[in-house]
């Protein structure tokens, strides 16, 4: 239910409030919004009268927001951003239905996007928008229909579609390897590259391969993209998901540092809110993902 109209200020007055808060003066706000100083003043007076709370106080020739005004301006900024995103979403989709999906950068680039073309061909009336996320988020706040989750079934309040387990492979530039094949212990003498979102990944890999190690150090990256490039340029050995490693092996930019691949406990899931039944477009995407995974799992057996 929408609130009574008397509680809904005009967008113009909210833009004036946001601009004064952001720029510090009514004069700067007027210039930013291509309005006169008096027009900004009228918008602010109308807004205060409608809200019934003092949002500004005079400080010399300028205006300063009251504590209530500062809180309200922060809420208004979020509202304006949401309104702008919604407008951009419908403008981009046109007459089509649209889906907003949160994706992990590497998974989106190397696994999802190469396959998403077939979904677009099969369902030309649905536009899929991808939003890159590195950290967990809240479906109640973020305007997303679904998201790609890596880990276990530890996300409260969501439904899961299992996309498969992950295998990892140590990879490095071909010139970083000496003559002859390397063994697992040999990697302890080489520079190791680390990912912020996967602390302890190397320690876990060595333990799973029969050579426990701890306190392993090396260059640290926040995304696989940068870590891959560092490995390509010879900075060290990167521990990569198989779907990334295979691409780089085929390109000849990287090579396996040791033979074999190692399965880990974490899996990839598509998740969506438990209390929000999938829309028709989302159900189409989930059905399609299920078919894709059945044919081409995240880690194909090779």
Written out in words, the top-level CATH class of the domain with range 97-302 is alpha beta
- What are the extents of the domains in the chain? 5-92, 97-302
Tens-digit pLDDT profile for residues 146-158: 999 999 998 888 9
Nearest to 41 by CA among 68, 17, 67: 17
DSSP 260: S
Give the pair of three-digit tokens for residue 253.
């930019």
Query: Does 187 score more than 90 pLDDT?
Result: yes
Choice between 3 and 117, residue whose per-residue pLDDT is larger: 117
31, containing H or E segment: helix 26-32
Residue 22 to residues 10, 15, 25, 87, 203: CA-CA distances in angstroms? Answer: 19, 10, 9, 22, 47
Q: What number is the average pLDDT over the span 81-89?
A: 68
Ranking 185-189, 263-267, 292-296 by mean pLDDT, the lowest is 292-296
d(CA 102, CA 105): 9
Query: Are the CB atoms for 122 and 168 separated by under 8 Å?
Result: no
211, containing H or E segment: none
Query: Does 87 score more than 70 pLDDT?
Result: no
**Average pLDDT score over the chain:** 86
Give the pair of three-digit tokens for residue 133.
């996320």
Query: Does 301 score more than 70 pLDDT?
Result: no
- Please give the CATH architecture assigned to the domain spanning 5-92: Orthogonal Bundle (1.10)
Cα angle at 84 between 150 and 78, to 5 degrees? 70
Cα angle at 22 between 20 and 28, to 5 degrees? 50
d(CA 240, CA 227): 9
Tens-digit pLDDT profile for residues 18-66: 888 888 788 888 888 888 888 888 888 888 888 788 888 777 666 778 8
Please report where in the chains the tokens 């387990």 appear, as a residue.
165
**What pLDDT is stored for residue 179 in this prediction?**
75
Judge if 5-92 and 97-302 fold alike in CATH terms.
no
Name the burial class of residue 171, with classes exposed (0-12), middle (13-18) and buried (19+) by CB atoms within 10 angstroms of its CB: buried
């Amino acid at each position: 239910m929408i609130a009574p109209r008397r509680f809904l200020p005009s967008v113009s007055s909210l833009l004036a409030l946001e601009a004064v808060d952001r720029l510090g003066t009514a004069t700067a706000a007027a210039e930013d919004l291509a309005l006169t100083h008096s027009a900004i003043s009228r918008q602010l007076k109308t807004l205060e009268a409608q809200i019934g709370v003092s949002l500004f106080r005079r400080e010399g020739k300028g205006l300063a927001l009251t504590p209530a005004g500062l809180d309200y301006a922060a809420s208004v900024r979020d509202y304006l951003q949401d309104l702008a995103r919604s407008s951009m979403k419908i403008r981009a989709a046109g007459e089509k239905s649209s889906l907003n999906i949160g994706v992990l950068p590497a998974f989106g680039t190397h696994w999802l996007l190469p396959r998403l073309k077939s979904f677009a061909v099969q369902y030309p009336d649905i536009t899929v928008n991808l939003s890159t996320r590195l950290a967990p988020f809240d479906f109640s706040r973020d305007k997303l229909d679904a998201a790609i989750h890596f880990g276990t079934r530890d996300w409260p309040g969501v439904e899961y579609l299992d996309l498969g387990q992950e295998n990892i492979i140590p990879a490095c530039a071909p010139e970083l390897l000496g003559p002859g094949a390397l063994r697992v212990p040999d990697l302890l003498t080489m520079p190791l590259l680390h990912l912020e979102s996967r602390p302890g990944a190397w320690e876990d890999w060595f333990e799973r391969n029969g050579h426990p190690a701890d306190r392993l150090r090396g260059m640290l990256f926040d995304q696989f993209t940068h870590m891959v490039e560092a490995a390509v340029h010879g900075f060290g050995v990167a521990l990569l998901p198989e779907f990334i490693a295979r691409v780089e092996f085929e390109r000849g930019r990287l090579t396996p540092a040791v033979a074999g691949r190692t399965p880990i406990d974490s899996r990839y899931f598509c998740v969506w809110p438990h209390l929000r039944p999938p829309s028709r477009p989302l159900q189409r995407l989930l059905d399609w993902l299920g078919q894709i995974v059945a044919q081409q799992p995240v880690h194909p057996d090779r």
